[in-house]
Amino acid sequence: MTRYIGKHRKVSNTSKKQFAGAAALALGASTLGIGASVATASEASAAPQLGSSVAAPSLPPQIAQLQADFDAQLRQAQANGVTALLNARDALVAQAKNLPPQFRTPVIQGIDNFVNAVAPGALQQREAARAPKPAPKPAPKKQAPKKQARPASNPCPASAHACVDIKAQRAWLQKGGKRSYGPVIVSTGRPGQETPRGMFTVTRKVKDEISYEFGNAPMPYAVYFTNNGHAFHQGTTNVQSAGCVRMNGEAARTFFNYLQPGDKVYIY
């Protein structure tokens, strides 16, 4: 007979004693040195399971006492609730693991059958909670930001409209600090007649200029940036100048059209 109390079924005393007898038989066979005789008995007749109508075999006094102790533990664990019952189950399973192989599996199975009958689903729920959780998926690796090409070093101030790099022999036009034309190849002053360095201002422009100082040498598209005759103008770029900034015809025309009096020129 089985009757229900609360959420868990209470196993009848007859079933509990049948299960306790089977477990006690196996435990006694291991701990009291009578394994041979009990093994023979168990092989001849399968151990009764919870709810079986087969009576437990006749036991020696020592095993009968073990049966009584085991039966008392089951009743006490059941009375103390599900947690106590599961703890008692764990202790009995730990003992059963020390039994000879022929007793180990049926005894553990009998213990679990008893727990499942008294508290259906409690053992499975606890074991599921104890199961190791799958390792979290590794976070996707962040891609390193692509390195952007470093802008070429430009010491020319943003306020300058024209820039000249004497060391590199290059010149360019810019607007708001951004290059708008160039760089182009130039030639600057030779030693002793160096092109001056610093910030200057466009003073005037002469399209068809000539140099009276140098025998009326042509200086097309002259854009003066000092009062001492220094200017951008068209001329050869493979020979150093007397201080002007010379460039080819296309570049000279572009500088001439872009630069206006008052514009800044930076030379470094």
- Write the DSSP string, 91-155: HHHHHHTTS-HHHHHHHHHHHHHHHHHHSTTHHHHHHHHHSPPPPPPPPPPPPPPPPPPPPPP--
pLDDT value, residue 98: 80
Residue 234 has pLDDT above 90, yes or no: yes
Neighbours of 110 (CB within 10 A): 22
**Range from 64-73, 104-113, 259-268 that averages highest in pLDDT:** 259-268
pLDDT value, residue 268: 95
pLDDT value, residue 138: 83
- What stretch(es) of the chain map to CATH 2.40.440.10? 162-267
pLDDT value, residue 34: 34
DSSP 206: E
pLDDT value, residue 199: 97
pLDDT value, residue 18: 45
pLDDT value, residue 257: 97
**What value does the mean pLDDT take over residues 197-222?**
93
Higher pLDDT among residues 7 and 146, named by residue: 146
Higher pLDDT among residues 171 and 65, named by residue: 171
Top-level class of domain 162-267: mainly beta
Tell me the one-letter amino acid at 48: P
**Range from 85-89, 105-109, 216-220, 262-266 that averages highest in pLDDT:** 262-266
Residue 50 has pLDDT above 60, yes or no: no
Residue 200 has pLDDT above 90, yes or no: yes
Nearest partner of 125 among 117, 116, 134, judged by Cα = 116
Please answer whether residues 233 and 267 qualify as being in contact, where contact means their C-beta atoms are separated by less than 8 angstroms. no
Token duo for residue 141: 């690796």
Of all residues in the chain, what percent carry a pLDDT higher than 90? 39
- List Cα–Cα distances, 20 to 60, 123, 163, in angstroms: 15, 19, 102
**What value does the mean pLDDT take over residues 125-135?**
84
pLDDT value, residue 114: 80
Residue 159 has pLDDT above 90, yes or no: yes
Return the bridge partners of 223, or none.
Answer: 205, 232
Name the residues annotated as catalytic: 233, 244
pLDDT value, residue 109: 80
Residue 119 has pLDDT above 60, yes or no: yes
Report the mean per-residue pLDDT for the chain. Answer: 76
Residue 127 has pLDDT above 60, yes or no: yes
Tell me the one-letter amino acid at 31: T
Of all residues in the chain, what percent carry a pLDDT higher than 70? 68
pLDDT value, residue 104: 74
The overall pTM is greater than 0.85 = no
